[in-house]
Amino acid sequence: MSSLRIGVCGVGRGGPCRGSDRSAGRRRGAVPPARSAGRGAGLLASLATTKGRPAVSDATIPATPGDEQDRLEAIRRYDILDTPPDGAFDRISQLAARICDVPIATITIVDEDRIWFKSTHGIEVDEIGRDPGLCASAVMQLDTWIVNDAAVDPRTLDNPLVRGELGLRFYAGVPLTTADGHGLGTLNVIDVEPRELSGDQLASLEDLAALVMDELELRIAARATVELEAAREAARFRDAIVAGVSHEMRTPLAILQGLASLDDGETQMDPVETEQVRALQRRQIRHLDWLVRQFLDYASLEDDRPPSVELAPTDLTEVVNEACDVFAGDCNIEVAVDDGLPMALADHERTRQIVFELLNNAIRFGAGADVDVTVRAGERGTVQVAVTDHGHGIAPDVLERIWDKSFRGRDSTGTGLGLYVTKVFAEAQNGRLEVESQAGEGSTFTLTLPRAAT
């Protein structure tokens, strides 16, 4: 399970370590590396081959801490595992090596079954298996874990990194501990010669470990800020939707209220006028029904529920006529239908909602001009409905965002849901919705759906 890349280190002690920092050559002003170990590559080879062998002889050190599940949940909360190399953490590991005058320094996260390296200096390693060993043991300590001379320290006498040809002699690991006491990993410094850290070096190493935790906490705070702003934006959008639906409902409700007053038994109407009133009532009721359905559909999409569709052979001419009927008297709508038009495989009600919204959009932004609707056979087994207005067109910057859920045009007085919801409905029917627009010439929205089998 190990994934290793061994850097090429200088042969002599004190020679520069080349190719050992994952961020080398990418950052300006990097801290000069500490002295290198001639056996740095051997250390990596040994790290990669310790899996399955006891690394610590002190049986009092448990394989996992008692709060292991809570500790692992804390690691997930920080969302740090398997993230790319990061200049902030790389700088800390370089400083640790320089301050302690050692060839190798790492920042590790001890995962459930592996030790993952967030930053390395003097070696290149992505991860190694988690067996009882230096990093895994250090993360279970409350204080800095120091082995000044591993060759004589009873805790490490049997460690293969110490007993083998590598001869690791010095290790210091500072636990990276959360505010609630969970150890995430360690900041480590390593050498192949025995040594002791001075008080200042130890204090600096612990300060650097605190900086690692500060950096992690800042990232959690930044992520929380982004999530909070997203939630606020969603709330603002929902408020705008409610206001838009309320505004849209006023017109049909006012018309229905006025029509109701004509049906008070005192107003005399001939049969033709009565039928006109009834037809207008039906149109406004359908308009209200569409608004309510649109709002409910948006609510379901907000809950990540896919829209329900029932695909069946559908006559798009009938769908278009039903949608156009709602706007009778509001605008002149010219409808052209291909002869021998094939049926579409679609959801009748969802498709009518799409066409209704496209007509509503064309009338709203069409500058009072006629609206053209074309129902035709498309290419590669499709059927299309194209709705064209002759208004001012759509600006390029608006065109890029027109399908976004939260987009509302500057002059929009509607719900703000329409185009987002219609696109979702089109795609749910294995179709697509596209727009073409020219400044000063208007816009064409085209709904493409698959043909029904004959």
Structure confidence at residue 281 (pLDDT): 76
- Are 40 and 113 within one domain? yes
Find the domain containing 446 and state its range.
Answer: 242-450
pLDDT at residue 273 is higher than 80: no
- Are 116 and 254 within one domain? no
pLDDT at residue 444 is higher than 90: yes
- Are 313 and 404 within one domain? yes
Structure confidence at residue 12 (pLDDT): 30
- CATH number of the domain that residue 336 is part of: 3.30.565.10
Q: What is the mean pLDDT of residues 58-64?
A: 42
Tell me if 229 is assigned to some domain: no
- Are 271 and 406 within one domain? yes
Distance (Å, rounded) from C-alpha 419 to C-alpha 264?
Answer: 40
Residues 118 and 107: beta-carbon distance below 8 Å: yes
Q: How many domains does the chain have?
A: 2
Which of the two residues, 284 and 362, has the higher pLDDT score?
A: 362
Distance (Å, rounded) from C-alpha 159 to C-alpha 307?
Answer: 60
Give the residue among 134, 106, 125 at the shortest CA–CA distance from 34.
106
Among 168, 197, 226, where does a domain finish? 197
Residues 244 and 208: beta-carbon distance below 8 Å: no
Tell me if 302 is assigned to some domain: yes
Distance (Å, rounded) from C-alpha 151 to C-alpha 136?
Answer: 19
Residues 78 and 220: beta-carbon distance below 8 Å: yes
Which of the two residues, 139 and 333, has the higher pLDDT score?
A: 333
Q: What is the mean pLDDT of residues 128-145?
A: 67
337 forms bridges with which residues in the sheet?
375
CB atoms within 10 A of CB 230: 10
Distance (Å, rounded) from C-alpha 111 to C-alpha 125?
Answer: 15
373 forms bridges with which residues in the sheet?
335, 387
Tell me if 221 is assigned to some domain: no
- Are 377 and 262 within one domain? yes
Q: What is the mean pLDDT of residues 232-251?
A: 69
Q: What is the mean pLDDT of residues 21-34?
A: 39
Which of the two residues, 220 and 63, has the higher pLDDT score?
A: 220
Tell me if 212 is assigned to some domain: no
pLDDT at residue 238 is higher than 70: no
- Are 122 and 190 within one domain? yes
Most confident residue range from 6-20, 189-203, 280-294: 189-203
What would the two tokens of residue 143 be?
């204080």
Give the β-pairing of 333-337 and 371-377.
Answer: parallel
Q: What is the mean pLDDT of residues 228-238?
A: 73
What would the two tokens of residue 321 be?
């006529």
- Are 269 and 378 within one domain? yes
- Are 146 and 266 within one domain? no
- Are 298 and 161 within one domain? no
- Are 257 and 134 within one domain? no
Tell me if 228 is assigned to some domain: no
pLDDT at residue 32 is higher than 60: no
Sequence letter at residue 126: D
Q: What is the mean pLDDT of residues 287-291?
A: 74
Among 197, 216, 231, where does a domain finish? 197
Tell me if 109 is assigned to some domain: yes
What would the two tokens of residue 330 be?
């509001």
Structure confidence at residue 434 (pLDDT): 94
- CATH number of the domain that residue 108 is part of: 3.30.450.40
Measured CA angle at 114 (ends 110, 119), to 5 deg: 60
Tell me if 219 is assigned to some domain: no
Distance (Å, rounded) from C-alpha 110 to C-alpha 367?
Answer: 64
- Are 166 and 81 within one domain? yes
Give the residue among 147, 201, 151, 202 at the shortest CA–CA distance from 170.
147
pLDDT at residue 415 is higher than 70: no
pTM confidence score: 0.50
Give the β-pairing of 371-377 and 382-388.
Answer: antiparallel
Tell me if 214 is assigned to some domain: no
Residues 40 and 9: beta-carbon distance below 8 Å: yes
- Give the lowest-confidence range in 55-64, 139-148, 231-240, 416-425: 55-64
- Are 133 and 273 within one domain? no
Among 173, 197, 221, where does a domain finish? 197
Distance (Å, rounded) from C-alpha 64 to C-alpha 199?
Answer: 30
Distance (Å, rounded) from C-alpha 214 to C-alpha 429?
Answer: 49
Q: What is the mean pLDDT of residues 185-212?
A: 93
